[in-house]
Amino acid sequence: MKVLVRWWDGYAQVFENVEEWRAGAYLLWIRHKKTEGHDDIHRERHIPLIQVRWFSPNPTDRELLEIKMRGE
């Protein structure tokens, strides 16, 4: 899964290999996996939503739910 974050300054940042993400009223939390050499490193980002214009998970939660319901 990917999460695209568009910052207020126009910069777009893509977080790849996202395992989980949550958005609250003030904070966007993303846990993603980075592959460096032979080891997988799990990283977390805590992003204040006041600095974010918008964000978009891909696939969306609805699409993930539909995939899980189909058993893929």
pLDDT of res. 23: 93
Asked whether the beta carbons of 23 and 3 are under 8 A apart, the reply is no
**Alpha-helix runs per DSSP H in 1-72:** 61-70
Model-wide pTM > 0.75: no
pLDDT over 80 (residue 58): yes
The pairs formed by 61-70 with CB atoms below 8 angstroms and a separation of 24 or more are 64/1
pLDDT over 70 (residue 68): no
Calculate the dihedral angle through the C-alpha atoms of 33, 26, 6, 44, rounding to the nearest 10 degrees. Answer: -10
